[in-house]
């Protein structure tokens, strides 16, 4: 046999060996909220494989207030239908009570030792937020806070609750300057910063949308929160960011009502998803890590090691 012939047979043998080799996936270890998770288990409709995904590009997160998953299922039919159509995580957890520390985890990757809902003057935080981290990396970000007057308001105003607006707690000069520019009132579905950016296809890399304390279900019913989502989600979905496949929308809760171990609903709306259900234990650390990953940045503080939720859902 010639040298060339021998090489050819060797190549065939190697290729056959490669085709027969299987891929072993280590099952994820169970963990408490806040601990890092390994690769998630996903289930859903046929064809909802995570193979060859396309990047979602932008992320818009809406945070609602103080509901168990059972309450959401029973009293929020519009959102429940969206979860069934697109995707949800069934074992997603908040990390604390009351509200504020959960928002700080999302924005900063840490509870920061906070155990109350006091305003920014009581809890000045140094170091970067995910908002400042994205901006420093050359990306864009905004908070759209309903009922807020002006920008980056650090005190309660009517139905605006500053404890639900975590960027206002970060005090480094660059954070304060950016908050004053990019932490803006949401407006309405017909006028204001959010609908203007939606219609123009100019939503930032990461958007945090904060309904007021009625529309988030804190002071009003779950049905009220569902109607607010029914008004807003079609508007956001009609914008070019979503219709071009460049935007993922997440709806979740800061905390539960104390009835279910702080397990909360987590709904993912993206046209690439069809009935995707993720049953791995996840939490707000993972959401914080996901926001950092949008800018190609490492997760902040205790969110290091948490999974990227867009990857969990096959969207990155």
Asked if 281 contacts 89 with a C-beta cutoff of 8 angstroms, the reply is no
Asked if 90 contacts 279 with a C-beta cutoff of 8 angstroms, the reply is yes
What is the distance between the alpha carbons of residues 69 and 260, in angstroms, rounded to a whole number? 8
How far is C-alpha 302 from the chain's CA centre?
16
What is the distance between the alpha carbons of residues 183 and 135, in angstroms, rounded to a whole number? 13
How far is C-alpha 144 from the chain's CA centre?
15
Predicted pLDDT of residue 1:
47
DSSP for residue 40: P
Secondary element (H or E) of residue 206:
strand 206-210
Residue 102: name the closest of 280, 289, 287 by CA: 287
Residue segments in the chain with a per-residue pLDDT below the cut of 50? 1-55
Phi first, then psi, for residue 190 (nearest 5°) are: -110, -20
Residue 223: name the closest of 231, 143, 234 by CA: 231
Predicted pLDDT of residue 288:
98
Residue 142's DSSP bridge partners are 207
Measuring CA to CA, how many Å separate 213 from each of 63, 76, 151, 299? 11, 17, 18, 29
Domain 56-312 fold is: Alkaline Phosphatase, subunit A (3.40.720)
Terminal Cα-to-Cα distance of the chain (whole angstroms): 49
DSSP for residue 186: -
How far is C-alpha 132 from the chain's CA centre?
17
The tokens 């009609």 sit on which residue?
238
Tell whether pTM > 0.75. yes
Measuring CA to CA, how many Å separate 254 from each of 39, 64, 175, 189, 220? 24, 6, 23, 23, 16
Asked if 132 contacts 178 with a C-beta cutoff of 8 angstroms, the reply is yes
What is the three-class DSSP state of 183?
strand
The tokens 């979905």 sit on which residue?
237
Residue 209's DSSP bridge partners are 62, 144
Predicted pLDDT of residue 56:
56
Residue 91: name the closest of 273, 277, 268 by CA: 277
Go through the chain and tell me how many residues it has.
Answer: 316
Residue 164: name the closest of 260, 68, 252 by CA: 252
Note the pLDDT tens digit of each residue in 173-228. 999 999 999 999 999 999 999 999 999 999 999 999 999 999 999 999 999 999 99
């Amino acid at each position: 046999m010639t040298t060339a012939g021998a090489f050819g047979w060797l190549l065939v043998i190697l290729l056959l060996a490669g085709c027969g080799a299987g891929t072993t996936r280590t099952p994820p270890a169970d963990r408490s909220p806040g601990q890092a998770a390994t690769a998630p288990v996903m289930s859903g409709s046929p064809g909802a494989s995570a193979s060859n995904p396309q990047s979602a590009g932008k992320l818009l997160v809406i945070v609602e207030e103080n509901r168990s998953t059972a309450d959401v299922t029973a009293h929020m039919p519009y959102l429940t239908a969206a979860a069934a159509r697109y995707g949800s995580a069934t074992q997603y957890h908040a990390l604390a009570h009351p509200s504020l520390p959960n928002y700080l985890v999302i924005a900063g990757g840490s509870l920061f030792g906070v155990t109350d809902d006091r305003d920014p003057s009581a809890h000045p935080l140094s170091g970067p937020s995910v908002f400042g981290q994205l901006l420093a990396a050359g990306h864009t970000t905004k908070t759209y806070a309903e009922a807020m007057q002006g920008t980056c308001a650090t005190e309660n105003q009517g139905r605006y609750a500053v404890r639900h607006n975590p960027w206002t707690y970060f005090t480094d000069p660059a954070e304060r300057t950016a908050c004053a520019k990019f932490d803006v009132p949401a407006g309405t579905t017909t006028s204001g910063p959010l609908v203007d950016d939606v219609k123009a296809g100019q939503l930032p890399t990461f958007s945090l949308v904060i309904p007021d304390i009625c529309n988030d279900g804190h002071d009003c019913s779950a049905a009220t929160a569902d109607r607010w989502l029914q008004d807003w989600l079609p508007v956001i979905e009609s914008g070019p960011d979503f219709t071009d496949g460049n935007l993922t929308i997440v709806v979740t809760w800061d905390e539960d009502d104390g009835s279910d171990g702080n397990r909360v609903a987590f709904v993912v709306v993206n046209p690439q998803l069809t009935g995707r259900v993720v049953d791995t234990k996840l939490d707000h650390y993972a959401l914080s890590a996901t926001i950092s990953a949008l800018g190609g940045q490492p997760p902040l503080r205790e969110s290091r090691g948490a999974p990227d939720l867009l990857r969990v859902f096959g969207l990155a």
